[in-house]
Amino acid sequence: MIKGSCLCGEVHYEFDGVIDEVAICHCDQCKRAQGTPFVTNAPVEEKRFSIVRGAGLLKTYFSSPNKKRVFCSACGSPFYSQRTDMPETVRLRLGTVTEGHIPEPSYEIFCESQSAWLSENLSRPRYGKNTPQATTDAVAESMSD
């Protein structure tokens, strides 16, 4: 069972299945819709996916005539996209998953649109939950301007 929710916690979903395919998409539409340099999603069966709380807060936006994007109207968290010609599949946004196993990404698509500033430089510093104090102070200072 995969469970997830939005940032404000008002909308919750469940997927009664196993995720076995994970895609990273670098297309320009996904980057703008998510506000990130790429989106990580998984195609899941619509019949096994359900909104268990907060369905009234969901909003739909058609980013193209054939593709809708569904998100929380209170906090803006994106949940999934779905093509009208493939109604049996939703592409679940994995950043909203709160419980359950998510495998490593299977592949990346639209790599020609990858953000030029993004690299997989594993030599740069990497942090867990807490960042160095200098970074925390810099962020706090920039927010007070």
CA distance 30 to 98: 21
Tell me the C-alpha distance between 17 and 2, whole Å: 7
Asked if the model's pLDDT at residue 43 lies above 80, the reply is yes
Per-residue pLDDT for 125 more than 80?
Answer: no
Q: How confident is the model at residue 67 (pLDDT cuts 50, 70, 90)?
A: very high
Which positions ≥6 away from 47 have C-beta within 8 Å?
A: 88
Return the pLDDT at 116: 86
Full set of structural domains in the chain with CATH:
2-120 (2.170.150.70)
Q: What percent of the chain is predicted at pLDDT more than 70? A: 82
Residue 106 CB contacts under 8 Å (≥ 6 apart), including other chains: 21, 22, 23
Round to whole Å and give the CA distance between 76 and 142: 24
Higher-pLDDT residue of 37 and 128 is: 37
Does residue 59 surpass a pLDDT of 60? Answer: yes
Phi, psi dihedrals of residue 3, rounded to the nearest 5°: -125, 150
Residue 38: closest CA among 130, 127, 117, 122? 117
Q: What is the pLDDT of residue 139?
A: 53
114 has a pLDDT exceeding 60: yes
| pLDDT band (50, 70, 90) for residue 144 | low
